[in-house]
Structure 1
Amino acid sequence: MTKDLLGRHRAVLPDWLALYYDEPLEITHGEGRHVWDADGNRYLDFFGGILTTMTAHALPEVTKAVSEQAGRIIHSSTLYLNRPMVELAERIAQLSGIPDARVFFTTSGTEANDTALLLATTYRRSNTILAMRNSYHGRSFSAVGITGNRGWSPTSLSPLQTLYVHGGVRTRGPYASLSDDEFIAACVEDLTDLLGHTRPPAALIAEPVQGVGGFTAPPDGLYAAFREVLHERGILWIADEVQTGWGRTGDHFWGWQAHGRSGPPDLLTFAKGIGNGMSIGGVVARAEIMNCLDANSISTFGGTQITMAAGLANLTYLLEHDLQGNARRVGGLLIERLRAVAAQVPAVREVRGRGLMIGIEVVRPGTDEADPQAASAVLEAAREGGLLIGKGGGHNTSALRIAPPLSLTVAEAEEGAAILERALRSIS
């Protein structure tokens, strides 16, 4: 049946729509941190639908909220008052840290970043955007145009002029050999020099931890240092929290807070985990920025009642069960366990990350040269062992991405680490 479905998939869907595994699997149902495929095989899920199943599969509180809302009304558009949308917006505005915050809901992280770019360029009257090298911000025309990861940028055509800044990757590039303080100083100097050669940009958009780029991150404080340079010139800071938000990094609720000495960003984008699988994205911005548009706008599906009900139930569960704290505790144990394994596997260059957002960079042993074939082999071996993980990377890297639901237990972390250890050793 799976082979038949694969043939039908290939007959009607685009060639560029990527599928994992030599023999792609169909996931039919899930519970907690586990999923099952169409053949009845059970897997420990360490990727959560690309960081989207944030709390747990089939979380009763969320499924109940969705079912009850579906029994009332599923959708009406933003042309009518929508109580669940207002309630979720109130909570997110308060949690964002942005003063006088306004929230606009979308259906995805791509659309959220697209909206943030519209707001920033309109507010600043500039179509120049600063973005980080190795970055990824979505698949719309404008988001692809600012993406700094060649593997995910199919065209150079763009309505925006994009200038790429150093700093998103700590252990590669021209500043890799510097200390953290020297690294930050060099990146700030590079940014300052760049701004001296161009018309004033609208904004810098940056992921606090680069997701598709392989879970890379700069030293804490880099974006605070950037913010001081930007603020002097009136340039906005957009924090892309699509993958880092809601406590996944453990140490902080938002990724920007690791760089927070200069205060919150001007705009914050979110998506993925807040809906626990339902399609929710959005932008938070100060009122003066959010309200700068002088034309009508609505969202047909952004903020629809059924997704807002899911988001409210999911956020409540996350906060009441301190899943941020669980990500810090269990994630810390998992990272240390994987680093101990990696020390014995020559093909692993680095284990990095924080909380339950962990990257394992795979190289040809004895070199810094990326080995995408080995990374794919680990992905396959992990699946054979009953574990689903992700891949990513840029800047000539190959990385395995590990991002389980934030309710992961210590026993499940140990089980997953043991499977990963066997998979990693298999490529040696």
Structure 2
Amino acid sequence: MKNNKRIVTPLPGPKAKAMIERDSKVVSPSYPRDYPFVMSHGEGCDVWDVDGNRFLDFAAGIAVCSTGHRHPAVVEAIKGAADQFLHISSDYWHEHQVRLGERVNELSHMGEVLSFMCQSGTEAVEGALKLARYVTGRSRFIGFLGGFHGRTMGSLAFTSSKYTQQKGFFPTMAGVTHIPFPNNYRPLLAGDDQGKAVLDYLEQVLFQSNVPANEVAGILVEPIQGEGGYIVPPDGFLQGLRDLCDRHGIMLIFDEVQSGVGRTGKMFAAEHWDVAPDIMCLAKGLGSGMPIGLVVSKKEHMAKWPRGAHGNTYGGNPLCCAAALATLDLVEQEYADNAAKVGAYFIERLRELQGRVDCIGEVRGRGLMIGMELVTDRDSKEPAKELCDRLITRAYHNGLLLLSCGQSTLRFMPPLCVTRAQVDEALEMIETSLAEALVG
């Protein structure tokens, strides 16, 4: 970009190169790093690398830094908790943990709820699976192709956004059957309404020929699919799942790890369709960067867990709970609304770009959970994976941090405090980077 004052050294710079070399000798190579960004510090939507280059962060630590980098209110809450104590196991009680449970209950769209606290999304999913099995006395589950729910062995059994996440780890937890996630842009079943088609397949085909409905403990689904491509389901689909689960005594489990806590412009993504699950999994943006996860369940279900049925040494850590409390206040008071307004503006601007660029097949999303799918041409809809990879690399060199999802979708998940001016700056970088990527 011309006159780009963000980038002051070749990328990666000398300090970044040196740290990456040190890392290669002592850290697992399994981390899926896309480009050589080595962070020094951040503030709001901006981050700096160790060589002094400044980037606009539209990845936000994979939608984790919901209130931006080191929001003063979150930092102050963490410091205040640290001044009291750093840890007490979940065998005991403390104010931050109890208050977080109260806040989640106050914000719940599920009626009265109880919360189990852990450190991550995958742990929240594991807890949800255990609860569904315990309450129903059943052992089977339904998951969705393209879903991502974590990498521990239970959650991994559901994860199917990329085969590399499963390769080499079979067998995972038994009893999981995958069905298509409804995607009207890339339909896997016959029918114009993929939501109805998937529901019909589940009820009329799967339950009739392969999976007894009365053996299914739960259906685990992302209200908006994340790693699978930021896919928004058709209206009526989630309500259809709710109705189906009610008919068959199945627990509906929403994985809101990526879509929850204001990301879509509402506190929880399922609120866009006014559908309440039996169990909800939260993590990522809940702690603004602190490691925390929650299993949130309708009280009538989790109340059935007896003492010792499930536990967690670090669950309810006071620093993490304090960060979550500050985050929920900021999201409720300001940032969910900002995500809705700035997200709508962002989508509008991306669709304007789509009208001028043939390689953009679809722009979709809610709030600040936005996907822009790249294709080789709009008629075939063939995924343009190499173009997507090149664009992300060029964006990095132009001062913008992005990640992909699905086969060839750019995902935009900036902090919820992002402004229209920052969206405009990012769009300029995207357009420049796309032009460079198209050249090759």
Q: 1:287 aligns with which of 267, 279, 299?
A: 299
Superposition deviation, residue 212 in structure 1: 1.0
Alpha-carbon distance between aligned partners in 1 of 2:329 and 2:58, rounded to the nearest angstrom:
23
Note if 1:30 corresponds to 2:42. yes
Relative to the length of structure 2, the TM-score reads: 0.91
Alpha-carbon distance between aligned partners in 1 of 2:87 and 2:318, rounded to the nearest angstrom:
6
Superposition deviation, residue 294 in structure 1: 4.3
Alpha-carbon distance between aligned partners in 1 of 2:182 and 2:50, rounded to the nearest angstrom:
39
Superposition deviation, residue 378 in structure 1: 0.6
Q: 1:90 aligns with which of 55, 79, 102?
A: 102
Q: 2:253 aligns with which of 238, 241, 247?
A: 238
CA RMSD in angstroms comes to 1.6
Superposition deviation, residue 177 in structure 1: 6.2
- Other-structure match for 1:319: 332
Relative to the length of structure 1, the TM-score reads: 0.93
Note if 1:388 corresponds to 2:377. no
Alpha-carbon distance between aligned partners in 1 of 2:191 and 2:199, rounded to the nearest angstrom:
16
1:76 partner amino acid:
I
1:328 partner amino acid:
A
Any gaps of 5 or more consecutive residues in structure 1?
A: none
Alpha-carbon distance between aligned partners in 2 of 1:172 and 1:152, rounded to the nearest angstrom:
22
1:408 partner amino acid:
V
Q: What is the SS of the residue equivalent to 1:208?
A: coil
Superposition deviation, residue 176 in structure 1: 7.4
What does the per-residue CA deviation read over 1:70-110, in whole Å, with 9 as the maximum and x for residues that have no partner?
A: 11101111111111010011111221222231001110011
- Other-structure match for 1:222: 237
1:369 partner amino acid:
E
Q: How many residues align?
A: 416
Q: What is the SS of the residue equivalent to 1:90?
A: helix
Q: What is the SS of the residue equivalent to 2:216?
A: coil
Note if 1:19 corresponds to 2:29. no
- Other-structure match for 1:3: 17
Q: What is the SS of the residue equivalent to 1:413?
A: helix
Alpha-carbon distance between aligned partners in 2 of 1:304 and 1:425, rounded to the nearest angstrom:
47
Q: What is the SS of the residue equivalent to 1:146?
A: coil
Q: 2:198 aligns with which of 187, 190, 198?
A: 187
Alpha-carbon distance between aligned partners in 2 of 1:82 and 1:221, rounded to the nearest angstrom:
41
Q: How does 1:24-423 map to 2 (within 5 A)?
A: 24-149=36-161, 150-154=163-167, 155-175=169-189, 178=192, 182-193=193-204, 194-197=206-209, 198-199=211-212, 200-250=215-265, 252-260=266-274, 263-294=275-306, 296=308, 297-321=310-334, 323-365=335-377, 367-393=380-406, 397-423=407-433
Alpha-carbon distance between aligned partners in 2 of 1:160 and 1:286, rounded to the nearest angstrom:
26
1:86 partner amino acid:
V
2:236 partner amino acid:
G
Alpha-carbon distance between aligned partners in 2 of 1:127 and 1:158, rounded to the nearest angstrom:
14
Alpha-carbon distance between aligned partners in 2 of 1:137 and 1:54, rounded to the nearest angstrom:
19
Does the C-alpha gap of structure 1 residues 362 and 156 become closer, same or farther in structure 2, counting only changes over 3 Å? farther
Contact 1:129–1:160 at 8 Å: present in 2 too? no
- Other-structure match for 1:427: 437
Any gaps of 5 or more consecutive residues in structure 2?
A: 1-14
Alpha-carbon distance between aligned partners in 2 of 1:51 and 1:313, rounded to the nearest angstrom:
17
Superposition deviation, residue 298 in structure 1: 2.7
Contact 1:222–1:259 at 8 Å: present in 2 too? no
Superposition deviation, residue 285 in structure 1: 0.6
Superposition deviation, residue 175 in structure 1: 3.9
Contact 1:48–1:405 at 8 Å: present in 2 too? yes
